[in-house]
Structure 1
Amino acid sequence: MTALRERRAGLLSCACDFDVPDESALDARAQPLALIAAGFAFSVLAQALAFAVLPIAGAVLAPRPEAATAPVALMLAGAATATFPAAFLTGLFGRRSAFALGASLGVAGAALAAFGLVAGEFAALCLGAFWLGVAQGFGLFYRHAVGGGARAAAIVLGSASLAAFAAPAVVGLSQAVAGPLAPAGALIGAALAQLGVLMLAAPLPATVELSPPDSAGDSAAADFARRFAAITSAAALAWFGMMALMAGAPLAMAGCGLGLGAASGGIAWHLLAMYAPAAAIAASGWRPPAAATTLAGLALLTIGILAARGQNSAVGFDLALIVGGCGWSLATLGATQWLHQRGAPRAMLALHDFILFAAAVAGALLGAVIV
């Protein structure tokens, strides 16, 4: 009966010698890369809107002048807090649940920050900024979650360059609709961007495979630890400088009589410079040396910070932010490339991101002094 069923009339069979691609394998590669890249772009859009608003909002609502940068610092502290949960929850519960959790906190945080700004509640503004930071910490882990090596990470980082074009449009719409409440409107835009992240997280597969740890001997492990410390320290310096520039420049621009539109435009150019180099490198297929890329990025960022000091025009600030953004992009891409080439385990990825955000917190606190 079995033979008759297998050879019955009208049964079509193919004797061609090839394998049909597994649909689940396609879903595990191409679809998540596109979804994660789009989700990361929305996450960076929310980050851009928050960074354009929080420094000025903090300066207006802070009970003491030295607390003006507290919302930005708390946002980065929230991102640092989320690094280890983002790393391990993606393995325990899958990307869908982990990234949806982060985006949900981002929606709530942006809404709470907008309420605090309208109501004049500095505590609500700070708590909302912290939740927004938690969402940012989950969003940054997207570059580790694609499982496609350095090129996939560059594609994810490069996709965020789209946020640079959307942020000024959202701020302009907020100014046209909300008038004096435009900063709160921009934070509502950040909430909608995080809602987009939440919607894009829903179709993601439930599991993720990260690069396994290197199983070499003790000497190789010690060498890996030394190199990890060096590359992470260099990337942390880049994050420190980048955040000092992003937190200090809007305050310096406000001191020069440049308003929210000019500040958001400068941050938009800065964001474009932060992610466009990664997009160009990913599109070209070029793989620059990881360590040299990181050091070149540090040099460019230093030039950008020095150029921002003493500026009094929007064009001057924009150029300094562009140079600094390009430096951050190269340094972060080089460090991420090194981690993927060496197959860093999940805990090392989380530690790397935590150190980066800790350095960014320090940069935010000192931004008004450095820039």
Structure 2
Amino acid sequence: MTQPKTQPKTQPTPHPTPSVDPLTPTGLDGDRLARRNAVLLALAQSIGGATASIIIATGPLVGTMMLHGSKSLATLPVSAMVLGTAIGTLPAGAISRRLGRRVGFMGAAVLSACGGLLAAFAIFQSLFWLFALACMFSGFAAAFVQQYRFAAADTASEGFRPKAISWVMAGGVLAGVVGPQTVIWSKDLFSPILFAGTYVAQAGLALIALALVSALRIPRPAAVVAGATGRPLAQIMAQPRFIVAAACGITSYALMSLVMTATPLAMIGCGLTETDAALGIQWHVLAMFGPSFFTGNLITRFGKERIVAIGLALLAACSMVALAGVELAHFWTALILLGLGWNFGFIGATAMLTDAYRPEERNMVQAVNDFLVFGVVASASFLSGQLLEHFGWTTVNVIVFPFVALSLGLLGWLVFQGRKGQLS
């Protein structure tokens, strides 16, 4: 009796490994996760970003008090904060890559709280170098805050990405109010020890930020989970788009820091008050982050390069106003223009940078970019006090013009290269 032929068992076709994480954006879900994360990050930015404005508004004044009126080192606490940010950029990228954004952001919030308490202790003890060290700790934590804008882009579709970045930066609007108002409300909290209460309050703000970032949901990209490493860093950095984006980001942030750090000391030197200086910084920070509600739309409509060029032009306009006089209106107008120029220049450059890397390369490239940016910004903030002390307020502002011209030249070269490539 013939046995029926048995059909060979066919192996099920293996499903291909998905190229993206299940939570990676496709745009089909209306960017729900991206919007949720962007809102949380915007709120955290409004609280975490207040630390920087607190140190900028009070650090030079605390330094002057501790150094008995000397201005040459008075900006060192701000420089230490920025240096801490520069030092923290590479660890921030590595921790985010290995442990995830959420863990890194939570740890940074705890460190920021510790930095605030240490700064308050240093003020009580009148220990200038310890105060500068505490500001460096807060700056290290701020390196993770700087990653908020990139984190917002992680779960966003290509169309929503510029808006997600600008939403997070818009959180700085509230930071522009929270920081200076915290200074005004708390500077006499432990009278006669000026500003000690401000840094205790800063620690409390960091704990609020901790609660916000703990609710984030940002998956690691599937390419990273699968072990993909991406292109060599040197190859990525050699791209014209990376070079110009990094250069414009560095210029926008460094020039803003140079002028902003010197401004409170210049205002006090011209007979204005600490409250005038704090309110000036408040208007400045509002101008830095306020346009972010529509900067993403402007980038989408007019292009990244045009927005960066407008930002650089506004930085030049700031120095023109500052050179026109030393009344309160001159200082405040210059600070507002300085903030607007930073917003368009830095957010536009950040959006340009996202075109220069692949998903598996993002943490590495973002960290290197921020390391370059804040390394130069730290030098600019330190030189700010030296320039003001030895050469005056005019020199601080004149230096802006050649760097703006150089960055505009690079931007024009990139646009020309792009058009040349399209025609060939």
CA shift for structure 1 position 310: 6.4
| Counterpart-to-counterpart distance in 2, 1:227 and 1:204 | 31
Residues 106 and 214 (structure 1), Cα distance of their counterparts in 2 relative to 1, 3 Å cut: closer
Are the equivalent residues in 2 in contact too, given 1:249–1:317 (CA < 8 A)? yes
Q: Which moved more, 1:255-264 or 1:322-331?
A: 255-264
Tell me the alpha carbon deviations over residues 224-276 of structure 1, each in whole angstroms, 9 at most, x when there is no partner: 62221122112111111100112100010111122221111011111011111
| Counterpart-to-counterpart distance in 1, 2:67 and 2:140 | 22
CA shift for structure 1 position 349: 1.1
Residues 225 and 257 (structure 1), Cα distance of their counterparts in 2 relative to 1, 3 Å cut: same
Give 1:328's match in structure 2, choosing from 342, 345, 369: 342
Residues 33 and 108 (structure 1), Cα distance of their counterparts in 2 relative to 1, 3 Å cut: same
Are the equivalent residues in 2 in contact too, given 1:79–1:137 (CA < 8 A)? yes
Are the equivalent residues in 2 in contact too, given 1:242–1:363 (CA < 8 A)? no
TM-score, scaled relative to structure 2: 0.75
| Counterpart-to-counterpart distance in 2, 1:285 and 1:292 | 8
Tell me the alpha carbon deviations over residues 297-330 of structure 1, each in whole angstroms, 9 at most, x when there is no partner: 1121122134224643222211000001100100
State the match for 2:44 in structure 1: 39
Q: Percent identity?
A: 27
State the match for 1:260 in structure 2: 274
| Counterpart-to-counterpart distance in 1, 2:229 and 2:345 | 24
CA shift for structure 1 position 288: 3.0
For the residue of structure 2 that corresponds to 1:67, the secondary structure is coil
Residues 209 and 59 (structure 1), Cα distance of their counterparts in 2 relative to 1, 3 Å cut: farther
CA shift for structure 1 position 92: 1.0
| Counterpart-to-counterpart distance in 1, 2:52 and 2:87 | 16
State the match for 1:244 in structure 2: 258
Give 1:29's match in structure 2, choosing from 29, 34, 42: 34
Residues 115 and 211 (structure 1), Cα distance of their counterparts in 2 relative to 1, 3 Å cut: farther
Map residues 351-366 of structure 1 onto 2, 5 A cutoff: 351-366=368-383
State the match for 1:279 in structure 2: 293
Are the equivalent residues in 1 in contact too, given 2:44–2:171 (CA < 8 A)? no
For the residue of structure 2 that corresponds to 1:258, the secondary structure is coil
Map residues 123-272 of structure 1 onto 2, 5 A cutoff: 123-146=129-152, 147=154, 148=156, 149-175=161-187, 177-205=189-217, 207-209=219-221, 225-272=239-286
The structure where helix makes up a greater share of residues is 1
From the CA coordinates, give the structure whose radius of gyration is larger.
2
Partner letter of residue 127 of structure 1? L
Partner letter of residue 54 of structure 2? L
For the residue of structure 2 that corresponds to 1:304, the secondary structure is helix
Q: Which moved more, 1:251-260 or 1:301-310?
A: 301-310
Partner letter of residue 106 of structure 1? S
| Counterpart-to-counterpart distance in 2, 1:306 and 1:211 | 48
For the residue of structure 2 that corresponds to 1:29, the secondary structure is helix
Residues 164 and 95 (structure 1), Cα distance of their counterparts in 2 relative to 1, 3 Å cut: same
State the match for 2:367 in structure 1: 350
What count of residue pairs does the alignment treat as equivalent? 349
Structure 2 unpaired stretches of 5+: 1-21, 388-395, 398-424
State the match for 1:15 in structure 2: none
| Counterpart-to-counterpart distance in 2, 1:33 and 1:59 | 39
Residue 76 in structure 1 maps to residue 88 in structure 2? no
Partner letter of residue 128 of structure 2? F
Are the equivalent residues in 2 in contact too, given 1:106–1:194 (CA < 8 A)? yes
| Counterpart-to-counterpart distance in 2, 1:95 and 1:348 | 15
Are the equivalent residues in 2 in contact too, given 1:250–1:263 (CA < 8 A)? yes
Are the equivalent residues in 1 in contact too, given 2:162–2:300 (CA < 8 A)? no
State the match for 1:6 in structure 2: none
Structure 1 unpaired stretches of 5+: 1-20
